[in-house]
Amino acid sequence: MRQPLIAGNWKMNLVRDEVVSLLDALVPAVDGVEDRDVLVCPAFPYLALAAERLSGTRVRLGAQDMGWEAKGAFTGAVSPAMLADCGATDVILGHSERRHVFGEDDAMIRRKVGCAIDAGIRPILCVGETLDEREAGETWAVIERQLTGGLDGLDAAACDTLTIAYEPVWAIGTGHTATPAQAQEVHRQIRGWLAERFGDAVAARTRILYGGSVNPKTIDGLMAESDVDGGLVGGASLKAADFAQLVNYGRNG
């Protein structure tokens, strides 16, 4: 059984007092939830602060990005050792905003994935198509290319801690969410690709999250699908009550 994961990507939002307020409200709201994992990903400057507020809780800490080298002359980059030193256990890589806003390509993302794995940081590899690509019938071709490029050369053992997040670009921050059936179709294809590439055992244990305007109204339908193992949540993760509802999907009355 794959334990569901609800992950919050705070993006470039919240300053110190807001981080404290959000976490202090969120932690008791998800206390006692043991059959699903919870992850929050603040901006770099607040990782250590968040780690302090989350100490002793079941809520894990992640980062939104990472450099691809252990150390060196890379101005503005953050190494996996720095993330771990701040308490981060997970890192989001290849998010569509990194791809489309900052110009990261599959080769760059692959280097980051490998660096995270080598450092013992759990990578969450994001894949997803634009609206034009979906309307052109290219959804799977795009995602297969991103999977192939992002995981090139890795073996089954290296993928032991891998999580995949399917985030259709047309649904991120737009209020448009893929239907449960649309999400399930892509997740099923991703799991099939993992089985062909790394074997049935890897495919069976790898969590595949859905991301793209996930909110309390859509979470139950998405999580009812057999290959949807959780959510990578943007805007709704910035409100403790909304994120707690997502974590407690299926139990909100």
Distance CA 171, CA 104 (A): 20
Q: Which domain holds residue 220?
A: 5-247
What tokens were used for 123? 């990578």
Residue 129 maps to a domain: yes
Catalytic residue IDs: 95, 167
Instruction: Give the number of domains in the chain.
Output: 1
Query: Measuring CA to CA, which residue among 143, 111, 113 is closest to residue 127?
Result: 143
The pair of three-digit structure tokens given for residue 11, joined into one six-digit string: 């993006």
Q: Which two tokens stand for residue 158?
A: 């290296």
61 pairs with which residues across the strands? 40
- Give the DSSP H or E segment for 62: strand 59-63
CATH code of the domain containing 154: 3.20.20.70
Give the relative orientation of helices 180-198 and 139-150 as an angle to the nearest 10 degrees.
40
Answer yes or no: is 173 within a domain: yes
The span from the CA of 240 to the CA of 10, in Å, is 12
- CA 197, distance to chain mean position in Å, is 21
| CB-based contact 63:91 (threshold 8 Å) | yes
Give the predicted TM-score (pTM) of the model. Answer: 0.96
Q: Evaluate whether 124 touches 232 at the Cβ level (below 8 Å).
A: yes
Residue by residue, pLDDT tens for the chain (253 residues) are 799 999 999 999 999 999 999 999 999 999 889 999 999 999 999 999 999 999 999 999 999 999 999 999 999 999 999 999 999 999 999 999 999 999 999 999 999 999 999 999 999 999 999 989 999 999 999 999 999 999 999 999 999 999 999 999 988 777 777 899 999 999 999 999 999 999 999 999 999 999 988 999 999 999 999 999 999 999 999 999 999 999 999 987 6
Let me know if residue 25 belongs to a domain. yes
Q: For residue 253, what pLDDT is reported? A: 61
Q: Are 6 and 218 in contact (CB under 8 A)?
A: no
DSSP-derived 3-state class of residue 233: strand
Residue 253 belongs to some domain of the structure: no
Q: Is residue 252 part of a domain?
A: no
Q: CA geometry: angle at 161 spanning 154 and 134, to 5°?
A: 70
Q: Hey, what amino acid is at 250? A: G
Q: Does some domain include residue 231? A: yes
Q: How many residues belong to the chain?
A: 253
Instruction: Count Cβ atoms within 10 A of the Cβ of residue 143 and give its class: 0-12 exposed, 13-18 middle, 19 or more buried.
Output: buried
Whether 168 is in a domain gets the answer yes
User: Which residues are within 8 A (CB) of 15 and not within 5 positions of it... i.e. 6 or more apart?
Assistant: none
